[in-house]
Amino acid sequence: MATVNKNLSHYDKTTIPNAKDFRFGIVVSEWNDKITEGLYKGAHEALIDCGVSESNIIRWNVPGSFELIYGSKKMQQQNVDAVIAIGSVIQGETKHFDFVCEGVSQGIKDLNVLHEIPVIFCVLTDNTMQQAIERSGGIHGNKGTEAAIAAIKMAAIKG
């Protein structure tokens, strides 16, 4: 396993574009909120750490991960430089997991292809709650932090 005993969320601020003038939208799923709040915290803290002002961060909540697509589409219209879509889908006993994961990943991909504002995929798709905890501020770091750094880099590319 590639993440065994590794915290993957460390970043070198000297390699990240200046983010002080960028605006970011963060769309957060309320489903599995223990996980999504941890991801949001990681993303928010990284943006602030990289010079983004609090007033340049917009947060919207949506009911679940599937709703991230519509929320992100509407957020793209809010004069932001990038959107971070935060969600958590945990494997259950039915195929619902597969349908949600496929739909969300394809929907966010479509937003990136069809529109000029990048949408960063920060949706955990874990087999267990423990795996999600480990990736939302636990032993493997915080994927929200990684998503924020990706958002800054994509905002810089967008120009």
Say whether 96 is catalytic: yes
Query: Residue ranges per domain, the chain?
Result: 33-158
- Does 3 score more than 80 pLDDT? no
Among residues 121, 117, 138, which one has the least CA distance to residue 129? 138
Segment 99-140, tens digit of pLDDT = 999 999 999 999 999 999 999 999 999 999 999 999 998 888
Tell me the CATH number for domain 33-158.
Answer: 3.40.50.960
Q: Which residues, other chains included, contact 73 with Cβ-Cβ below 8 Å and sequence gap of 6+?
A: 111, 115
Q: Of the listed 10, 44, 96, 115, which one is catalytic?
A: 96
Instruction: Give the tens place of pLDDT for each residue, 24-49.
Output: 999 999 999 999 999 999 999 999 99
Checking DSSP bridges between strand 136-138 and strand 57-62, what pairing results, if any?
unpaired
Decide if pLDDT at 1 tops 70. no
Averaged pLDDT of the chain: 93
- pLDDT exceeds 60 at position 23: yes
Q: Count CB atoms within 10 A of the CB of residue 157.
A: 9
Report the distance separating Cα 66 and Cα 11, nearest Å: 29
Mean pLDDT for 12-20 is 91
**Rg value, the chain, Cα:** 15
pLDDT over threshold 70, residue 73: yes
Name which of 110, 116, 108, 112 is nearest 159 in CA terms: 116
